[in-house]
Structure 1
Amino acid sequence: MKIKYPIKLILLFFVISSCNFKKSNVVYNSYQGDKTLAFYLTFNGESEDKSSSNYKKKTGETLFEKDRFGNENSAAIFSEKSFISYGDILDSVFAGEKRRFTFSFWIKPLKNDKNVFLIAKNSDSNCNEGERQFGVKFTSEERVQFLWLYNNEKYNGWRMFESVNKLKLNKWQSIIITYDGFSNGGDGAFRTNLYVNGKHEKFKSINKRGRLGFIEDKKAHFSIGTMVSSLGEVCSTNFFSGSLDDLMVFERVLTGNEIEHISSLKK
């Protein structure tokens, strides 16, 4: 016996089954035409830049897993010795006086025994280099750190800031970090802000050296998961463990409404 379904029920099923909740949502699509979007990794089964710059991966590999919506192969998962690097890119975004930029990404961290780099343009003495610019780190105490470094005739030092609150392990969270080089207040403290799940979190200064300076144009490669040298060589034995998704770099400081907009896309 054939069962006849009401037309309204059939249409409802069609609409639900046709919805695509991956990365074709309006929250992220609305930024695709933004000229200040300098770098964008959707991690939809690949690691290629989806911004207009279209940067290509140079070295490293990562696997993929379910994203925060349960879509298969839609988020990058990092484990022991996995990383990706894109060469010496984005210096025009980060380096020089009075630069403004924003990092935005989703993270599902696992326990790390040591401080590890999530995002970096930094190659230190482990690579016999001083090509150091900045780093976003996840600490062994589950906190977020942001540091920038400089080493020239006028300035010689760094500024390092850390979140007061811890992130939650094995749970997706939105992280947005802004940097405004127009501000010198607070000995660098006013330059950077942290937002977790759209809420402003306190960044505290934990380490500094020398006079306040700006990020310099160095040759370390832009990398995710660990540090990579100007030759594309890994500069650390410590690697991030966990998952990342929807990594965006803007050449400006996002507004409060935009931060809330981006962070609203969660399960």
Structure 2
Amino acid sequence: MAKEKPKRETATRTLQDLNLGENEAVLYTQMLGYPRSTVQELGTRAPFPRTMLYYVLNQLIQRGLVTARKEGWRTVYVAEDPERLYDLLSRKEREFERETGAVRELIPRLKHQYRLAGKRTNVRTFEGLEEYQKVLEDIILSKPKEILAYEVLGAKKPALQTRDAHERRRITRKIQKKVLFFEDKDALQSLRSRRYDDFTQFRTIKEGSVTPFSIDLTLYDGKLLYTSYYHEHEPTAALVEDRALYEMQKNLFEMLWKQGKDRTLAFTEKL
């Protein structure tokens, strides 16, 4: 008897693969050992209450695995030959063929949608300190080989501790960063007070080449991150995912980088 239970469990699982419910599979397996039974007799063997027994029997009757026969004043439930399972198997195969056909028709449409998604511009906004932390985390998780950034140095900007913590994580992960900035007294003062590291370079934007602006723009991994600091305490950021825009801005950045004056070692200059 110890070996019979695993076999019965295997049979039950196989029947469930033919779309029988667990209770239907259990009851039909039991009835094969007692092919002719009344509800009273089945109730003594079934692992569920009699109220559920009627429902399960009705399901088995609809599947053609059990037949109800009147014998005098009582109803006898007869388990049909397991050969009937071939009918369920054939039905399952036909369903699988229909589903396979539907999936084959669906895949080209989904692939087209996927290709469009790769070309479509995706824009997300992040308002407030908590959201700003999420977008900074995206930079770290993207693991870019290099970050290109326009930054407003020296200006009073919110979330200083958050940005400092992000920069420390970036440097720890040895992610290179090039920063272009508009040179003025405050920017140089800020740069001179900054601690040197091997993974950050600074250059000025050549005077007259670009009209000064007061937002930060970070380029990484095909994305453009615009950050404004209009609010006194919390930044607002917009993350744009667009490979064409990224390449255009990257080319512009590299051109300005070649024109710029290296200020990476500004901390060594005398005030």
Per chain length, whose mean CA-contact separation is higher, i.e. which structure has more relative contact order (CA < 8 Å, sep 6+)? Answer: 1
- TM-score band by shorter chain is under 0.3
Q: Which structure carries more strand by proportion?
A: 1
Instruction: Return the TM-score normalized by structure 1.
Output: 0.23
Instruction: Return the TM-score normalized by structure 2.
Output: 0.23
Q: Which structure carries more helix by proportion?
A: 2
Larger Rg: 2
